Structure 1
């Protein structure tokens, strides 16, 4: 009797130090992502050397594989599953979008209670054919442009790059349509790009070819306005400016007016040459006619040049002089 007791103690010690699989999340990994046409490994984590009496894998409520001495893959899974007896793990191949969902396993080691596990698989169409189209690639300074990004794939995220820097939204920059459309208003010479669109999902990413914009900006030698203009209440007044082109014979296609009223309000108006009457484009430059209905400081921006004029309104007494 005394000689058998150490053997019994040793056998009991071996039994409690080989517990088999861990509980819960340890049996299967957290959620998995995979690409259409690819494969995924559902890896279990048993203690090395553990054997199994039976293993059952399910997709939702459907049995897809059962091992109990022999392998029993379900119909439709015969050529898609590889079972690893040493760990109870399962590889699933030739994935389709319909393979997305909840997977569970029940592993029964000899003489022990079942060890369950579950996880989720999400299958995505890989990103491909990323392309950027532009509403225009040759623009006048202060005009607007929209860039659209298209791509094949599922669950797509979009990121815009100007050279190597990420483009973010601002007063001039709008990112809409889930991130696939980039709109820039009042373009400047710093908006030439090259612009790229980077598209990604949990399993892949792709980047478009670069799109470079040509910004025709003005390099004026002179921009002149009268420092002060007086108008009379109820009468039409014309603010004039003189733009003397630079050596490139720049053409004014658009100018920007800003009105700062005495009350502190600032009004920005974009006035194109086509929108108002144009007088002369020769050596005297381009003249814009504007109807002014309020007083304040007018700021005129043409390309990189800036000029101001103070508009004062007075009330006229007596008859209006005839022409």
Structure 2
């Protein structure tokens, strides 16, 4: 009888003996498989048994029907596993090292306790090659929106159990122009759209390793959404920067035209150093994509506006005893604002503070503050009227106009106060005995008008000053020349010029020569 025949007849009897002896097969000795391991790695077959009070009589492990280790009082290891396995005699667990693909089979353990029935368990081991070298391969041709198509192929080395596609961090599923090969190795996009550009990932994996490849897909499109950023109106004299932007891949090339004429500006920025009337008009930005050969244009109409401000006279001259008006006007800007309050104040002599004189508020009306000018100030719309001007009223007056929603604007006017020059002309008849006689005469213009009273000596000098001219001093304003009637005394000497000048104490000095 051959050995094979003996084994064939023995196996059924072994099964019968196991069943008759009550051997428990499986019964949770090993965890549910299969187990996974990597080539050159390590795996441990861990039983669910606790160490018994008395050692097991025997522990044996079989690999694909081959007994790789048997342990009773001694351990007997198959030469092919020497140095690769370790047995935990207390629990029956087995560690297998330096795994090879050939180790992917069924493993069986049989344990005979000191008392009780033998126990047996089975599990499978699958050994994988680690994934490596994952890449996404794509044609190098330039892709143009709605014209081109492409394939993305995921390649990797090792044992590949699955491939998963991801776009911009989200799973990529078949939809529209996106489809996959049966093995999920290739993703096809036909044709490409703007929405197809982005970051694509292919994740290759097996139970013992995972690797991800990344590819950025570029789709040329545009230019779209062309826009000129910058003001459509600005104050005269301001510096203006216009910037042209567009959604475009590859980047768009820009050019500018002004009122239909070439400007020879070929970048996204157009700068006006100082805005004037000659710069107002239509600015056209054109963007062109050298790949898609598409171009687009947009126009900005630039205008000059007067900046919102308060306009006052820098200096106003008034005269003692007269009324004076200090003008103040709000110049509106491009956006109309509402005046909510007008205030006039006088700056103090030190220039560090100011005294409020009069306020107009749209809700509360006019309020005149306590000041030396209280009885002499009034409004003429936004302007200030000062009545019966006094010398001490000279100073800097501040007009403040509050608006909504633009805020408060101010302007300052310097008020100069002057006295009114009154030349009092006198006919002076003086007899003289000597032609070389000369006199100095002072007229007080601040006192009441009166006739000149000559001394007795002066009366004896019978001279008529018949032609009198009023001549200003170097520091005075020009005065009108007056022609008096001619002398009726033929033989008298005529002193023809009178010089009138202002004295430090507001006197007028007349010098007769």
Pick which of 212-221 and 192-201 moved more: 212-221
User: Which residue among 182, 189, 197 is the counterpart of 2:194?
Assistant: 189
What per-residue deviation string (whole Å, max 9, x for no partner) do you get for residues 141-178 of structure 1?
01211111111111431111112111111231011151
Asked if residue 166 in structure 1 is aligned to residue 171 in structure 2, the reply is: yes
- Aligned residue for 1:215? 219
* TM-score, normalising length: structure 1: 0.61
Query: Does the C-alpha gap of structure 1 residues 125 and 153 become closer, same or farther in structure 2, counting only changes over 3 Å?
Result: same
Query: Does the C-alpha gap of structure 1 residues 85 and 220 become closer, same or farther in structure 2, counting only changes over 3 Å?
Result: closer
Output the CA distance in 2 between the equivalents of 1:106 and 1:125: 30
Asked if residue 247 in structure 1 is aligned to residue 286 in structure 2, the reply is: yes
Q: What residue ranges of structure 2 are gaps of 5+ in the alignment?
A: 1-22, 227-284, 297-513
CA shift for structure 1 position 138: 2.9
- Aligned residue for 2:91? 87
CA shift for structure 1 position 86: 1.4
Output the CA distance in 2 between the equivalents of 1:157 and 1:137: 29
Output the CA distance in 2 between the equivalents of 1:195 and 1:221: 26
Partners of 1:144 and 1:187 within 8 A in 2: yes
SS of equivalent residue, structure 2 residue 121? strand
Partners of 1:196 and 1:207 within 8 A in 2: yes
- Aligned residue for 1:178? 183
Highest relative contact order (Cα 8 Å, sep 6+), 1 or 2?
A: 1
Output the CA distance in 1 between the equivalents of 2:211 and 2:24: 39
CA shift for structure 1 position 219: 3.2
Output the CA distance in 1 between the equivalents of 2:124 and 2:225: 67
| Aligned length in residues | 214
Output the CA distance in 2 between the equivalents of 1:48 and 1:56: 16
Output the CA distance in 2 between the equivalents of 1:159 and 1:153: 16
What per-residue deviation string (whole Å, max 9, x for no partner) do you get for residues 199-237 of structure 1?
1111110011x2212211133699xxxxxxxxxxxxxxx
Query: Does the C-alpha gap of structure 1 residues 24 and 166 become closer, same or farther in structure 2, counting only changes over 3 Å?
Result: same
- Aligned residue for 2:40? 37
Query: Does the C-alpha gap of structure 1 residues 155 and 132 become closer, same or farther in structure 2, counting only changes over 3 Å?
Result: closer
Output the CA distance in 2 between the equivalents of 1:195 and 1:152: 19
Query: Does the C-alpha gap of structure 1 residues 25 and 184 become closer, same or farther in structure 2, counting only changes over 3 Å?
Result: farther
User: What pairs with 1:259-278 in structure 2 (closer than 5 Å)?
Assistant: none
SS of equivalent residue, structure 2 residue 143? strand
What per-residue deviation string (whole Å, max 9, x for no partner) do you get for residues 21-79 of structure 1?
98624111111111111111111122343420011100111111110111111021011
Output the CA distance in 1 between the equivalents of 2:81 and 2:130: 23
- Aligned residue for 1:97? 101
Output the CA distance in 2 between the equivalents of 1:282 and 1:30: 66
- Aligned residue for 1:317? none
Query: Does the C-alpha gap of structure 1 residues 194 and 155 become closer, same or farther in structure 2, counting only changes over 3 Å?
Result: closer
- Aligned residue for 2:49? 46
RMSD value, Cα: 2.7
- Aligned residue for 2:370? none
Q: What residue ranges of structure 1 are gaps of 5+ in the alignment?
A: 1-20, 223-245, 255-280, 284-323
Output the CA distance in 2 between the equivalents of 1:69 and 1:37: 31
- Aligned residue for 1:116? 120
Output the CA distance in 1 between the equivalents of 2:64 and 2:116: 25
Partners of 1:218 and 1:251 within 8 A in 2: no
Query: Does the C-alpha gap of structure 1 residues 96 and 252 become closer, same or farther in structure 2, counting only changes over 3 Å?
Result: closer
Query: Does the C-alpha gap of structure 1 residues 252 and 47 become closer, same or farther in structure 2, counting only changes over 3 Å?
Result: closer
Output the CA distance in 2 between the equivalents of 1:66 and 1:212: 57
- Aligned residue for 2:204? 199
CA shift for structure 1 position 137: 6.0
